[in-house]
Structure 1
Amino acid sequence: MKNILIVDDHPLVRLAVENSVIRIIQPSQTHTAGTFKEAMQVLGYQYMNLVILDLGIPGGLGVEMISQIKSLQNEARILVYSGRNEMGHATSYMAAGANGFLNKNAAEIEFEFAINTVLNNKKYVGKKV
């Protein structure tokens, strides 16, 4: 069973991502957090295979969030899932240790491909990057 943490400050987005993840990854157990502090608390007690991380979350520390997640769970894969421009942000987050970067405007099939790519220990960035 894969454990997936969805970190986003918008409840409806968390729900939509969670529903997609449950459909894509079977079997899976999802966990959610609305702030970076909540995410770190969950990571402190539950092993995660994948963290789907929004960037504009309360308590978020920009690119430093990646190293903080890795300090708790170095093996966790991180897919940044953000509305921010890939061209301006993907390289710095990937250099910091994220395993993928996907814009929230991506089609559902690309979302599924990104998740599977990252879970298979490969890197993912959109075609623009």
Structure 2
Amino acid sequence: MKHLQLMDKYPLNVHTIAKNETTLHNADEVINFIKTKIDAHPVATYIATFDHYSHTKSLENFEMDENFIDAKNIIFCFGVQLPKAEMLGIRPRSIGVVETADDFVLSFMDAPNPKAQEFMMEWVEAI
């Protein structure tokens, strides 16, 4: 897992998994794998899956890496505490899944809660 600053300001975790290193075959299977982790978690709540690939392709002047086969986000929330209104600006959590011919690239922003960060890292690394 790599940690980087995307666009010099967004703390991002990125994990690239070669397709020959996992039993999962496509982005939908990766999303479903993560959803089982969310559903099994005592606090996490699944919200939605966003098909970013279809959305972007539907736009008139879209730009997308030609190597992308699929691109989706699974959206969920841990939400154990809500101490101040501003916390809503950094929630919910999302893990992005991009499928290419050879790899899956998973990415997510740092979570404000260290335990949530740990769970997301474990889920992604389990793929």
Q: TM-score, normalised by structure 2?
A: 0.29
TM-score of the superposition, structure 1-length normalised? 0.28
Which is strand-richer, 1 or 2?
2
Higher relative contact order (CA 8 A, sep 6+): 2
